[in-house]
Structure 1
Amino acid sequence: MAVAVKKVEDLPDKTGVYILKDRKGNILYIGKSISLRKRVRSYFQPTDNPKIKNMRKHLDHVEYIITDTEREALILESNLIKKYKPPYNIHLKDDKRYPYLKITSEEYPRITITRRITSDGAYFGPFTSAFAAKKMIKFLKSLFKIRDCKRMDGPCLNNQMGLCYSPCTGNISKDEYIRMVRRVELFFQGQYKDILKELEEEMEDAASKLEFEKAATLRDQIISLKEVMGKGQTTFTKGIDKDIITISFDDKAHIMILHVKDGKIIGKNDFTMDSIKEETPRGILSAFIQQYYSTPHQIPEEIITEYAINKRRLLEKWLSNLKGVKVKIRTPIGGSELKLLKAAVKSVQELSEEKTETHKILAELKRQLKLPEHPRRIEGYDISNISGEAPVGSMVTFIDGKPAKGLYRRYKIHTRGPDDYAMLREIIKRRYSKDETKADLIIVDGGRGQLNSALSVLESLNIEIPVIGVAKEDEKIYTPYSMSPIRLPRDSKVLHLIQHVRDEAHRFAIEYHRKIRNKRFKASQLDKIKGIGSKRKMRLLRHFKGIEAIKGASIEELSQVEGINRKLAEKIHKHFHNTQ
């Protein structure tokens, strides 16, 4: 529990965390020290640091929490900074809310994708997009056959497709299943050779017991794993796992982290850190390490940084305790490490330049459209239907001028009739009836009518968000504050960004509409045949890979499908050949 004091002399000369607050109780800064009294007193010494000077103007009182060790203080400081994001602390911006893979803590754990980190289960990532996370889950399911269903109520489609061992049916013992889950964890630690050894031993054992089906499954897993091990990723140096961290500056700090496992670069992530004025690279990198690894990331045995960092020994102790083995933080030692670091520095500089250019475009967008806030988050909306048939809606999200595909949403529209305005109102209402992060700007595909429809919904929900409409024919931009549309030059980068959002929303809506329409067509063709229920329909489509192949199949070929006898096969064949 935090204790509040007004005078520095009332602070204890003990280890802990201090919280600087203003008169209203708002947190200004959070820090830790082995001597709370000495550290807080330093803020009142003569200084040329404008950040400290400005903070002192608002400082009213101090709260503190005593800890037993400096390491405990470090952990508490990190958690409090992440929770409250004080304005005078350096803090890691993670607006993208990267997706993670989660292994749940259930009796028979399942694998799923999440963007929220809680205390239950094991987390792996982050992944750069939901697509990358889904692709990884698909691979892991094919390799380790871990369940991803919420309920355990009998064999499901995954089991029939060979993607799950189906512990709900007793096909695998609990010990065997947990062993598969452990292999997923080893996979993310880059321990491919350990998994491979286990699989080969099991395959030989299964073959010796004449369990040929099991041996064949294990053989396929071994082949898949060897393909992963053999992929041509950039070679670094053999040995222990490393993270390489470099930094670049403009008005913010841009951090790039390269992940190296078993001598190969297996991924990279980039982040932004705010409130860096008057801060040194050493301090920024130290804050990054503290905040980044306090969330569920894989901790390497070595962290190589471009600059020597503050609190190195303390951070090493903390990370070593989290990982269970010794973790070292150091600067590069010549040769290949320097070469790779230079490449990373070049990449992060290019990233910084790209973000600076994007910032200029967004600043100009704000000026042109008279927006109240910098439009970091832009949402685009569109609908797609043919005379009201199979109507769907789309929402795309751009963060800092780039598509954030993990935040895209699509909607089946319930509004009846070909009323585009009503359909647009429906999807925006559904989006903003939920308490989620709001956009800085909404772009709707259309003119004044679509604009007014969107504004009416937001007004009914008592939400204020700038909205514009963009007409395709002449690229006029409609705003609520002017009866005359805005015309931007054809080569305007601001116009190109607006068009990108609008076109992406249109593409996403059309894609979903086609999917729904095709699905309905396929379903209707088989639903007309008496005796074909949902299970038989699924078996037919899975067996023949599509409706066209079913149409062209002979009676004998149709009879080979599970659940389709000759009489029913003749009926299916007759249906398609009589209706063509």
Structure 2
Amino acid sequence: MSTTRHASLSRGTSRSGSFRPSPGSIPDAPGVYKFRDAHGRVIYVGKAKSLRSRLSSYFADPAGLHPRTRQMVNTAADVEWTVVTTEVEALQLEYNWIKEFDPRFNVRYRDDKSYPVLAVTLNEEFPRPHVYRGPRKKGVRYFGPYAHAWAIRETLDLLLRVFPARTCSNGVFRRHKQIGRPCLLGYIDKCSAPCVGDVSPERHREIVEQLCDFLAGRTESMVRELEREMAAASESLDFERAARLRDDIGALRRAMEKQAVVFSDGTDADVVAFAHDELEAAVQVFHVRGGRVRGQRGWVVDRDEVPGEQDGEQDVTAVRAQLVEQFLAQFYGEQAELAAEAEGAGPPVPREVLVPALPEDADAIAQWLSGLRGSKVRLRVPRRGDKRALAETVERNAKEALTQHKLRRASDLSSRSAALNELQDLLGLDTAPLRIECIDISHIQGADVVASLVVFEDGIPRKSEYRRFAIKEAAEKGDVASIAEVVRRRFARYLAEAEAPSGTTGTARAAEDETDNPGTTDAPEPPDPKQRKFAYPPNLLVVDGAGPQATAAADVLGDLGITDIAVIGLAKRLEEVWLPGDEFPVILPRTAEALYLLQRVRDEAHRFAIRYHRDKRAKRVRASELDAVPGLGKARKAALIKHFGSVKKLKQARVADIAEVKGFGQATAETVYAALHGTGQDTPRDPQDEDGQQ
């Protein structure tokens, strides 16, 4: 590869085309290009068969550009490109750069983790199937995704009759193991009750593996095997077993009926369809495995431009071909990464991908997909028969999704634009505040002082850039000093990263700053250490408070030499907007969209700060209850909390239970028990009394 970078504009300049490189300096070769803004942040990544032709199209008459492309070019201040040798190499590099830099103007088919899957924890001694949302884990096998969680639960409820695997959480499993009695599912034969030893670990794992085989498509063979067993039981006059097997076969058939049969030849394919207008596109994917629809998912995204497209003159085939190209590269690239992380996940790409139109580089994409799968993948457009009929069904779903999305978002889009324009006018800003950051402080009577920083771009939250701070120097000096400390720490990092060379790798946050736990559904995405998140400043900084807080924030920015960021304070009581140094606040109209937007930003910062404060307070309380145990360090305290789930459950445990925790012996267990109960004697209880107490 070879890389060329064109000289960028001076900071703050945004004239469209003023950084245009001369056409003769751009190679007429395949490659990948990046547009950067005035702060050096990558805002768009694309690939092209001819870099010269593709980049020249961005600097044509702005009136002829797609609105999204026109906004990108106006925002950009620099362009650079990398020449590659093959289209497959360009495809891979484009995907890697989009994933690394998360460009603002690229279409992203993000999996928001709202699609539930059936997860089977094969990495546990007693595996369990359960409904799951979230990132993939090693040693866990996944089936789906499904459109609704209730669909998984209904199917699983039917299958537990035939495959009685445990479905309880680890805490419930340990509790019933301690009391020696199974739960309700064990009594009604929907669980083999491994918690009380009714089945061995080997037999229970065999049951779970049979369940996985059924979910993976071995349905008819299992039904035939059960039918043979039923006939044999009937011949041997074991009518009770024959009746039970008959009911099991019925349960399996009902579970199979929930997955529509679309092909009789055991087709393994993904069927993709799009619906779009000038600005947005909806995509739907049906996952067909073994001839049955095993899962479905969909997205609605902003549309990118099509080369040569003029406003009002859309080439539907060209638009869909480009959407197909973008979708396949991102979706299957992420699926390959998930498959690499999760053991037993199966190939990330099916044998066949059915699409509404073939992109120009269809052969290169098929070659890349084949490399991900490890065997040949067919990429084609269905023309007739059952596959064409299913493609039309998927397209109808995409059209319905786009219609519903437009109905939901019409008022939201207009209100966001109105709010940003109103803020610009009411606050006298040079441009609309496309990026807003808000800081809030949370504490209880000065204890555990923390702060949050939330980010809104284009009027919507950007959770991947949320930050939270543990206040240090200013913790005892009040909210004004705490605001000043957070502003100083945040913008000192901004200056340091902005002055660093563009190729320097920076960490996503300062060592003293803390980010939210990425394991929760409400948490921001984990930061990528390759990106310099603090190097992108806001247009408007909002602090929760009145004039003193706003003045303190502005003074810190002034001391740092930053003069191009507007600062305001938003007081809670009367929703007043305070400008630094002003004696009186600005009163926004109660019905103004600008005020609604500021309230949403402030409330999100408040929620995020309170959540962090509760987390810190809960950790401190949990640790203090175990501080009374002599000789117990942080590692052992954490091991106890992890094993029992809480101090309350730890107090209910016996010495023998505590001794089972890794790193604990009999003597240490007796010490813990004595500290929590005030006695060192593990007094045995009568089994009848123990059952009654439980």
Residues 459-518 of structure 1 deviation map (CA, whole Å, 9 limit, x = unaligned):
444443333322111112234597653434444444333222211211121122122112
Which of 440, 463, 468 is the matching residue for 1:382?
440
1:472 equivalent in alignment to 2:572: yes
The equivalent of 2:378 in structure 1 is 327
Whether contact under 8 Å (2:443, 2:450) holds in the other structure is yes
Instruction: Structure 1 unaligned segments of length 5 or more: list them.
Output: 22-26, 56-62, 85-90, 99-125, 146-158, 164-179, 191-199, 201-210
Whether contact under 8 Å (1:32, 1:74) holds in the other structure is no
Whether contact under 8 Å (2:442, 2:613) holds in the other structure is yes
Q: What residue identity is the alignment partner of 1:246?
A: F
Cα distance in structure 1, aligned partners of 2:542 and 2:204: 53
The equivalent of 1:264 in structure 2 is 294
SS of 2:565's partner is coil
Cα distance in structure 2, aligned partners of 1:228 and 1:497: 48
Residues 30-64 of structure 1 deviation map (CA, whole Å, 9 limit, x = unaligned):
7426xx99x89x99xxx9x9459x99xxxxxxx99
Which of 660, 670, 674 is the matching residue for 1:570?
674
The equivalent of 1:290 in structure 2 is 325
Query: Quick check: 364-373 or 270-279, which moved more?
Result: 270-279
Cα distance in structure 2, aligned partners of 1:218 and 1:411: 49
Residue 547 to residue 30, structure 1, CA distance change in 2 (3 Å): closer
Residue 189 to residue 234, structure 1, CA distance change in 2 (3 Å): closer
SS of 2:111's partner is coil
The equivalent of 1:107 in structure 2 is none
The equivalent of 2:551 in structure 1 is 452
Residue 357 to residue 331, structure 1, CA distance change in 2 (3 Å): farther
Residue 448 to residue 235, structure 1, CA distance change in 2 (3 Å): farther
Which of 337, 346, 349 is the matching residue for 2:391?
337
Q: How much has 1:532 moved relative to structure 2?
A: 3.5
The equivalent of 2:405 in structure 1 is 351
Whether contact under 8 Å (1:376, 1:400) holds in the other structure is yes
1:398 equivalent in alignment to 2:467: no
Cα distance in structure 2, aligned partners of 1:441 and 1:260: 44
Residue 455 to residue 422, structure 1, CA distance change in 2 (3 Å): same
Query: Quick check: 408-417 or 472-481, which moved more?
Result: 472-481
Instruction: Structure 2 unaligned segments of length 5 or more: list them.
Output: 5-20, 35-43, 71-80, 129-136, 147-162, 164-198, 218-254, 336-348, 495-531, 681-694
Whether contact under 8 Å (1:395, 1:409) holds in the other structure is yes
Cα distance in structure 1, aligned partners of 2:623 and 2:84: 66
Cα distance in structure 1, aligned partners of 2:360 and 2:654: 74
Q: How does 1:236-315 map to 2 (within 5 A)?
A: 237=262, 239-250=267-278, 252-258=279-285, 260-262=287-289, 263-276=293-306, 278=310, 280-295=315-330, 296-298=333-335, 299-305=349-355, 308-311=357-360, 313-314=362-363
SS of 1:293's partner is helix
SS of 2:678's partner is helix
Residue 346 to residue 438, structure 1, CA distance change in 2 (3 Å): farther
Q: TM-score normalised to the size of structure 2?
A: 0.53
Higher relative contact order (CA 8 A, sep 6+): 2
Q: RMSD across aligned C-alpha pairs, in angstroms?
A: 5.4
Which of 464, 479, 496 is the matching residue for 1:420?
479
SS of 1:369's partner is helix
SS of 1:502's partner is helix
Cα distance in structure 2, aligned partners of 1:128 and 1:556: 44
Whether contact under 8 Å (1:395, 1:410) holds in the other structure is yes
Q: What residue identity is the alignment partner of 2:276?
A: S
Residue 236 to residue 406, structure 1, CA distance change in 2 (3 Å): farther
SS of 1:485's partner is coil
Whether contact under 8 Å (1:387, 1:417) holds in the other structure is no
Q: What residue identity is the alignment partner of 1:573?
A: H
Cα distance in structure 2, aligned partners of 1:29 and 1:515: 41
Q: TM-score normalised to the size of structure 1?
A: 0.62
SS of 2:585's partner is strand
SS of 1:93's partner is coil
Q: How much has 1:185 moved relative to structure 2?
A: 8.9
The equivalent of 2:622 in structure 1 is 522
Percent identical across equivalent pairs? 23
SS of 1:453's partner is helix
Whether contact under 8 Å (2:382, 2:388) holds in the other structure is no
Whether contact under 8 Å (1:358, 1:401) holds in the other structure is no
Q: How much has 1:320 moved relative to structure 2?
A: 5.1
Q: What residue identity is the alignment partner of 2:566?
A: P
Cα distance in structure 2, aligned partners of 1:365 and 1:350: 24
Whether contact under 8 Å (2:145, 2:296) holds in the other structure is no
1:509 equivalent in alignment to 2:609: yes
Q: What residue identity is the alignment partner of 2:646?
A: G
Residue 188 to residue 389, structure 1, CA distance change in 2 (3 Å): same
Aligned length, in residue pairs: 462
Which of 415, 432, 438 is the matching residue for 1:361?
415
SS of 1:474's partner is coil
Residues 302-350 of structure 1 deviation map (CA, whole Å, 9 limit, x = unaligned):
54555x4552754664455444323223267654432331121121244
SS of 1:529's partner is coil
Q: What residue identity is the alignment partner of 2:324?
A: I
Cα distance in structure 2, aligned partners of 1:29 and 1:535: 48
Residue 424 to residue 92, structure 1, CA distance change in 2 (3 Å): closer
SS of 1:346's partner is helix
Q: What residue identity is the alignment partner of 1:241?
A: A
Cα distance in structure 1, aligned partners of 2:216 and 2:596: 39
Q: What residue identity is the alignment partner of 1:423?
A: S
Whether contact under 8 Å (1:396, 1:504) holds in the other structure is yes
Q: How much has 1:527 moved relative to structure 2?
A: 0.7
Q: How much has 1:441 moved relative to structure 2?
A: 3.5
Q: How much has 1:385 moved relative to structure 2?
A: 0.9
Residue 95 to residue 492, structure 1, CA distance change in 2 (3 Å): farther
Residues 504-555 of structure 1 deviation map (CA, whole Å, 9 limit, x = unaligned):
2111211221221122122122213334333553454345532344567788
Cα distance in structure 2, aligned partners of 1:525 and 1:32: 65
Cα distance in structure 2, aligned partners of 1:2 and 1:539: 51
Residue 220 to residue 400, structure 1, CA distance change in 2 (3 Å): farther
